[in-house]
Amino acid sequence: MAERRDVVIIGAGAAGMMCAIEAGRRGRRVLVLDHAKAPGEKIRISGGGRCNFTNIHAGPKNFLSANPHFCKSALARYSPRDFLDLVERHRIAWHEKTLGQLFCDNSAKDIIAMLLAEMKAVGAELRLSTAVSAVDHDGHSFRVVTENGVVEAASLVIATGGKSIPKMGATGFAYRIAEQFGLPLVETRAGLVPLTLDPATLAAHDGLPGVAVDVIARHGKTEFREAALFTHRGLSGPAILQISSYWREGEEIALHICPDVDFASVIAAARRQNGRQAMQTVLAEHMPKKLAQLLVNDLGINGSLAEQSGRSVEALIQKLRDWRMRPPGSEGYRTAEVTLGGIDTAALDSRSMAAKTVPGIYFIGEAVDVTGWLGGYNFQWAWASGHAAGQDA
Ligand code: FDA
């Protein structure tokens, strides 16, 4: 005999738990299944253990999707303020770090405990360490086959996330289910991911790993002003992670180093004051010494300021404004914070996240082709899309 519920949610991550709370609040009998031993593992490790749980500025412009309008409805109906109200009701202390990013003062585990308490309050049941081997639909109900038996439900919500960090149990399960039910997919790729550099560039960057600098990172017309970090494999840091979501393998990115500094004036003034100084000494007043050294070496600038030709100073200023690099690749899903692409939003109702062609099945969270910037936006999408499906499932 199969068990029966009104709603089965596969995936006890941010989106799945929010959906369970909202469906449970409507009096639906909800069961959440997850193959992991603990719920919300990505919440636990997020934001360096403090969970950047939302961004007060979150709006449709902060998301990438083949249809940039799709996310509008869900985001409008469940806002960062709504999630913050929930956080405050649970007396979880929080702070704004930068750029509207809200973090727990104490621990990301507070967010998981809050979601579990809300699920319990509405009677939503959670079953962990339960792998799902098959899903089918008999025209009336979904049958979810697990190693511990079969569960039937009128509504099935797929909240199993994307492919990032396979070591944490990411599986691509949602895409397989979408394919099984004939829903289209937008090609997936790693997003918010460090970029790699070729061996020759890395050799030239010897000594740079660990160095961080304020930049504007650009790809085409898209730009982000944050820190970039040189690593043993290439480039990371928030500015690089942000731009990586717009970049495609082999394409060029450009860095504007220390955009607040007018290097033309700085160099001209330094030359007037003391022409015997070395160029790297002047640059190093505004950036890490190792980076200043690399930049002058790269352009073959030797000797004192007074000895530099106008052309070599101009070349340096140009490089500081527009340092082009062509990363051959990224670190991939192993370290990516998110998966771009996923279930094609053309197949989903933007109000409810329900599949248009298969009544009763919903896709939410990172599995869907809606991907946020770095800075709390991806959780806001998980909450908002989970909330939208929870109102309907
Ligand atoms: P999520 O991946 O959270 O949950 C999916 C659940 O489904 C998991 O519990 C998994 O075990 C389960 N599952 C998968 N396959 C299954 C299967 N076959 N059967 C059963 N269960 C299955 N975002 C942000 O806004 N602020 C932040 O601070 C961070 N920080 C951050 C750090 C790191 C290191 C990473 C990797 C990611 C972030 N993110 C983030 C992104 C954020 O974590 C992510 O977008 C959300 O967790 C997505 O929520 P979902 O519920 O869609 O998937």
Q: Is residue 62 a contact partner of residue 55, using CB atoms and an 8 Å limit?
A: yes
Nearest to 322 by CA among 374, 263, 372, 365: 263
Asked if 21 and 118 touch (Cβ cutoff 8 Å), the reply is yes
Q: What is the pLDDT of residue 183?
A: 98
pLDDT at 250: 86
Q: pLDDT tens digits, residue range 21-37?
A: 999 999 999 999 999 99
Domain-wise residue ranges, the chain: 3-189+338-390, 195-330
Instruction: Give residue 128's identity as a one-letter amino acid code.
Output: L
The predicted-structure confidence for 264-316, as pLDDT tens digits, reads as follows: 999 999 999 999 999 999 999 999 999 999 999 999 998 899 999 999 999 99
Q: Using the mean position of ligand 1's atoms as its centre, give its distance from the Cα of residue 260 in Å.
A: 36
Atom of ligand 1 nearest to the CA of 162: 2
Closest residue (by CA) to atom 11 of ligand 1? 36
9 neighbors 32 (Cβ within 8 angstroms): yes
Whose structure tokens read 């460090």?
194
Residue 369 has pLDDT above 80, yes or no: yes
| Ligand 1 midpoint to CA 74 (Å) | 19
Take residue 238 and report the two structure tokens written for it.
Answer: 């928030």
| pLDDT, position 188 | 98
Q: Whose CA is nearest to atom 24 of ligand 1?
A: 376
User: Is there a contact between 317 and 38 (Cβ–Cβ < 8 Å)?
Assistant: no
pLDDT band at residue 125 under the 50/70/90 scheme: very high
Q: What average pLDDT does the structure give for the chain?
A: 97
Dig out the tokens for 137 from the structure.
């639909």
Mean pLDDT value across residues 101-122 = 98
Question: What's the gap in Å between 38 CA and the centre of ligand 1?
Answer: 12
Contacts of 16 (CB under 8 A, 6+ apart): 9, 10, 32, 34, 157, 159, 160, 364, 365, 386
For residue 70, pLDDT over 80 is answered with: yes
Q: Are residues 278 and 304 in contact, defined by beta-carbon separation less than 8 angstroms?
A: yes
Phi, then psi, of 258 in degrees rounded to 5: 45, 65
pLDDT (tens digit per residue) in 184-236: 999 999 999 999 999 999 999 988 999 999 999 999 999 999 999 999 999 99
Q: Is the pLDDT assigned to residue 89 strictly greater than 80?
A: yes
Q: Name all residues whose Cβ lies below 6 A of ligand 1.
A: 10-16, 33-36, 41-42, 45-47, 51-52, 131-132, 159-161, 164-165, 169, 171, 173, 337-338, 365-366, 376-379, 382
Centre of ligand 1 from the C-alpha of residue 325, in Å: 31
389-393 mean pLDDT:
98
**Which residues, 6+ apart, have CB-to-CB distance to 350 below 8 Å?**
69, 70, 71, 72, 73, 74
Ramachandran class of 250: left when φ > 0, alpha when ψ lies in -120 to 50, beta otherwise: left
pLDDT of residue 171: 86
The CATH-assigned architecture of domain 3-189+338-390 is 3-Layer(bba) Sandwich (3.50)
Strand partners, 213: 228
pLDDT at 284: 97
pLDDT category at 170 given cuts 50, 70, 90 is: confident
Query: What pLDDT, on the 0 to 100 scale, is given for residue 303?
Result: 86
Task: Say which residue the tokens 């509405």 belong to.
Answer: 122
- 330 CA → ligand 1 middle, Å: 20
The three-state (H, E, C) secondary structure of 199-221, written as one string: HHHHHHCCCCCCCEEEEEEEECC
All residues at 6 or more sequence positions from 204 whose CB lies less than 8 Å from its CB, including other chains: 294, 298
* CATH tag, 195-330: 2.40.30.10
3-189+338-390 and 195-330 share one CATH topology?
no
Mutation to probe ligand 1, out of 21, 42, 337, 387 (largest number of atoms < 8 A from CB): 42
Alpha carbon separation from 180 to 65, 173, 189, 290, 353 (Å, rounded): 22, 11, 21, 53, 17
ipTM above 0.95, yes or no: yes
How far, in Å, are 271, 272, 353 from residue 275 at the CA level?
Answer: 4, 6, 65
> Atom 49 in ligand 1: which residue has the minimum CA distance?
14
Phi, psi (deg, nearest 5) at residue 364: -135, 165
84 is written with which tokens?
Answer: 């913050």
pTM of the model: 0.97
By alpha-carbon position, which residue is closest to atom 13 of ligand 1?
160
Asked if 136 contacts 143 with a C-beta cutoff of 8 angstroms, the reply is yes
What confidence score (pLDDT) does residue 289 get? 97
309 Cα to the center of ligand 1, angstroms: 54
pLDDT, position 299:
94
What is the CA(14)–ligand 1 centre distance, in A?
Answer: 7
* Residue 1 pLDDT exceeds 80: no
